[in-house]
């Protein structure tokens, strides 16, 4: 790829990063998957990067050629795993976290979610594009009743799962937790702790006949497939 073309693409990515933080104004850091999910709604971006893998490979190539930092300074990269680089972007007005060395930086993200500013097909709003996909997919199931971030109480604790679903067949209530940052070890620990709370309070996974639904985002293909599998489970019960 010619350098001039690469710089044009990097400037396009930089613009998408700026817009991402402008819209989701309570997020401190964003992964490359967050940026990709946000930017792919635009045809010019999607044409250049048909999948998240294409996007990651481009970032990696630009990093290795020393071009990325020249255009997009507000980022850090963890290259400790040679086969899988991890990218974090932050607001331009924020200072970069202290670097471990000149090339590898591991930041600890904040796990609170952004405001509800991602529109759904029924006029509602959710906090992430992955939740938007789940929400809109659930809308397609006629007769399926569900709620987004509906609180419930158990043993003196108030929990707010991502989705609460009522089975149309037997009126059983399911709680669906989605975890969208599983490429980060600290977030993975947070996810495991949250799931453990449900299990310690008598919940079982839907795959074992229980009422707890858990999904993860590791890549697009697996995520979409997992959502379809879960919906089939709900409908089959």
Burial class (CB in 10 A: 0-12, 13-18, 19+), 182: middle
At 17-66, the pLDDT tens digits run 988 888 765 445 778 888 998 899 899 999 999 998 899 999 999 988 88
Candidates 160, 77, 53; CA nearest to 116 is 160
The structure's pTM equals 0.53
Interacting residues of 17 by C-beta distance below 8 A, sequence separation 6+: 30, 35, 72, 74, 89
Q: How far is CA 105 from CA 76, 78, 87, 92, 191, in A?
A: 6, 5, 9, 17, 22
Q: 3-state DSSP: the chain helix, strand, coil percent, rounded to 5? A: 40, 20, 40
At 88-109, the pLDDT tens digits run 888 776 444 433 333 333 333 3
Instruction: Say yes or no to pLDDT of 178 above 70.
Output: yes
At 115-157, the pLDDT tens digits run 677 889 988 888 888 999 999 999 998 888 999 988 888 777 7
């Amino acid at each position: 790829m010619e350098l001039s073309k690469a710089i044009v693409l990097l400037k396009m990515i930089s613009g998408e990063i700026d817009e991402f933080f402008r819209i989701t104004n309570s997020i401190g850091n964003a992964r490359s998957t967050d940026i990709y999910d946000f930017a792919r709604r635009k045809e010019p971006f999607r044409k250049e990067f048909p999948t998240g893998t294409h996007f990651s490979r481009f970032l990696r190539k630009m990093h290795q050629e020393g071009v990325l930092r020249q255009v997009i300074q507000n980022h850090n990269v963890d290259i400790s795993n040679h086969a899988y680089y991890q990218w974090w972007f932050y607001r331009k007005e924020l200072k970069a976290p202290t670097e471990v060395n000149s090339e590898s930086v591991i930041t600890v993200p904040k796990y609170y979610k952004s405001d509800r500013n991602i529109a759904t097909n029924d006029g509602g709003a959710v906090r992430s594009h992955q939740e938007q996909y789940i929400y809109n997919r659930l809308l397609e199931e006629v007769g399926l009743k569900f709620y987004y971030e509906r609180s419930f109480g158990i043993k003196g604790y108030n929990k707010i799962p991502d989705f609460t679903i009522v089975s149309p067949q037997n009126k059983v209530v399911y709680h669906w937790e989605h975890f969208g940052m599983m490429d980060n070890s600290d977030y993975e620990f947070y996810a495991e702790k949250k799931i453990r709370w449900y299990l310690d309070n008598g919940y079982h996974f839907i795959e074992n006949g229980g009422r707890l639904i858990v999904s993860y985002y590791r890549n697009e293909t697996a995520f979409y497939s997992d959502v379809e599998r879960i919906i089939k489970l709900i409908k089959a019960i």
